[in-house]
Homo-oligomer: A and B are copies of this chain.
Amino acid sequence: MKNNRYIVIVGCGRLGSHLANQLSRDGNSVVVIDSDEATFNHLSPDFSGFRVNGDATHMAVLKEAKLNKADVLIATTHEDNVNLMVAQVARRIFHIPHVLARVFDPRREEVYAHLGIDTICPTSVAAEMFLRAVADRAADKEREQI
């Protein structure tokens, strides 16, 4: 697999910085946008991408991050509205082929799908893992009792 894509990540919190570090390490050109400069401290020393300090809901900031060149955009902020807006602009105006967004309210996933945006809901994913862990342990216990 080729790893020389241009990837824009919006939000440099725990999730955004983790993705930025990993995707940069894998050989991609990564740009991270965050309005809070302090969040760039989450980036590892070997992060070889660019940092854009600004509000991603402003067109000028997206242009500075060269969204027109991007192959992938990932919206990871803590605000569903910000992620939805940025993802929509990325698809509709900048025609970025692959747009992904973190979504907190699973009821919004349908809206995203309609816009051609992939979504991942960390709460749902985590809930599923907890439920599976609880069920697995209960099944183990039952087997022990047979």
Chain B residues whose C-beta falls within 8 Å of the C-beta of A76 in the assembled complex:
130
Query: How far, in whole Å, are A139 and B2 apart by their CA atoms in the complex?
Result: 8
Contact partner, A130, options B120, B123, B126, B139, Cβ 8 Å: B120
Q: Which residues of A contact B (CB under 8 A)?
A: 1-3, 5, 7, 14-15, 18-19, 22-23, 72, 74, 76, 98, 100, 102, 104, 118, 120, 122-127, 129-131, 133-135, 137-139, 142
Q: Check A123–B122 contact: CB distance below 8 A.
A: yes
Q: How many copies altogether?
A: 2
Q: Check B142–A2 contact: CB distance below 8 A.
A: yes
Query: What are 22 A-B residue pairs whose CB atoms fall within 8 Å in the complex?
Result: A1-B135, A1-B138, A1-B139, A1-B142, A14-B104, A15-B127, A15-B130, A19-B127, A19-B131, A22-B131, A23-B131, A74-B130, A76-B130, A102-B130, A118-B133, A120-B126, A120-B130, A120-B133, A122-B123, A125-B126, A125-B129, A126-B126
Chain B residues whose C-beta falls within 8 Å of the C-beta of A125 in the assembled complex:
122, 125-126, 129
Chain B residues whose C-beta falls within 8 Å of the C-beta of A131 in the assembled complex:
19, 22-23
Chain B residues whose C-beta falls within 8 Å of the C-beta of A2 in the assembled complex:
138, 142
